[in-house]
Amino acid sequence: MAVSINIRSNKFYKDPYKTAVSLLILIAVIMVFLLIINILQDEDSNITQYPSLKFLISGIIVKDVDLKELEGNIEAHEIKFYDPMYKKEKKYRGFELRDVLQLGFGDEWKNSDYTDIAFEALDGYVSVSSISKFREPGGYIVFSDLDFTNWEPISIKEATPGPFYLVWTGKDQTTKNEYPWPWQLSSINLIKFEEQYSAVSPSGVSENSDVYKGYEIFKGRCVRCHSMNGEGGKVGPDLNAPQSIVAYRNAYMIKEMIKNPSKYRYTQMPDHPDLSDQDLDNVLAYFNYMNEIRN
Ligand code: HEC
């Protein structure tokens, strides 16, 4: 037996092609082996790692709570409703948003000094909404899709909304009414909007002016992608610096680009078909005002 092996291996040495092939097979076997070890290790760490939610006050982390801790402290509910992101009825398991805020912030979130909550997603998207909305029932942070083994992908992007997804069960609690629906939620930041985004605020206008109404729309729907004077989202262009949008586009085109950008270009900017003419005029009034007070 030993002899025959010797003879074979001698033959291999004489045949460089066979030597190369056997070396390649050896490398392949080692790689498969390493891959298996890697997969086993990943499975191990999945068992002990729970996704977590960060709670911040004015941008400073005050708590970091993982799913296990959330489940241990607040009651989870099964909810079923028409999910506009999927455009169909969905069933989830999740916590009432008010319970989550109470766990993360204690009574601090009821302190009237704070005006807004900014929800940040794993990819950096931030949606900001006025805190009065969070006192209402209907908001849930869901952590499990009960119709699907993992999470069902949303739309053609194939993105999944887990590990945490903020949903609203009320019929009028839509993004159109400035309720935030962030997917892949990673942190919840309790803020004084004017302090966190002072360069976006139209200082010195009354709350029932057109300028202020336009600002509310901008705050609720645009600031996650656009900045004003360098503050805000970075997905789209700054709309007030170095020049205001009103300085280089006419009013008609600005309104068109807000309402129907997809009519003109392939863009990441979503259409806003539900904004009325009055809403668009208010946004424009806000842009004009911000241009006037710029220096
Ligand atoms: C998901 C991100 C996103 C949101 C939300 C968004 N935009 Fe945009 N917007 C963009 C991007 C990206 C551009 C860059 C130009 C393009 O791709 O068309 C843009 C361009 C613009 C322009 C400039 C068009 C031009 O060519 O000069 C205006 C004005 C504008 N957005 C206003 C708004 C307003 C007002 C809102 C809220 C009602 C809004 N956007 C919401 C991403 C967004």
CA dihedral of residues 226, 231, 235, 238 (deg, nearest 10): 60
Distance 269 CA to ligand 1 centre (A): 5
Q: Is 287 exposed, middle or buried (0-12, 13-18, 19+ CB in 10 A)?
A: buried
Structure tokens given for 106: 């204690």
Residue pair 285/216 in contact by the 8 Å Cβ criterion: no
Residue pair 194/201 in contact by the 8 Å Cβ criterion: yes
Q: Which residue has the higher pLDDT, 14 or 204?
A: 204
Per-residue model confidence (pLDDT) at position 25: 84
Residue pair 127/180 in contact by the 8 Å Cβ criterion: yes
Distance 211 CA to ligand 1 centre (A): 19
Angle among Cα 139, 111, 168 to the nearest 5 degrees reads 5
- How confident is the model over 188-201, as a mean pLDDT? 91
105 pLDDT more than 50: yes
Phi, psi of 291 (to 5 degrees): -70, -40
- CB count within 10 Å of CB 216 equals 17
CA–CA distances in Å: residue 53 to residues 167, 174, 179, 184, 187: 16, 23, 19, 10, 5
Q: Which residue has the higher pLDDT, 157 or 246?
A: 246
Distance 214 CA to ligand 1 centre (A): 15
**Residue tagged 């009065």 (tokens):** 132
- CB count within 10 Å of CB 22 equals 13
249 lines ligand 1 (CB under 6 A): yes
Angle among Cα 166, 114, 237 to the nearest 5 degrees reads 65
Helices (H) and strands (E) in the chain, counts: 10, 11
Q: What is the pLDDT of residues 43-69, one digit of tens each?
A: 555 556 899 999 999 999 999 999 999
Mean pLDDT of the chain: 88
Q: What is the pLDDT of residues 221-275, one digit of tens each?
A: 898 889 999 998 888 999 999 999 999 999 999 999 999 999 999 998 989 999 9
Question: Has domain 52-195 been given CATH number 3.90.420.10?
Answer: yes
Provide the residue ranges of all domains of the chain, joining segments of one domain with +.
2-48, 52-195, 198-292
2 pLDDT more than 50: no
Given the CA of residue 267, which atom of ligand 1 is nearest to it? 17
Distance 196 CA to ligand 1 centre (A): 22
198-292 to CATH, choices 3.40.50.1360, 3.60.70.12, 1.10.760.10, 1.20.140.10: 1.10.760.10
Q: Give yes or no on whether 52-195 and 198-292 have one common fold.
A: no
Per-residue model confidence (pLDDT) at position 272: 94
| Euclidean distance between CA atoms 228 and 19, whole angstroms | 66
Per-residue model confidence (pLDDT) at position 178: 79
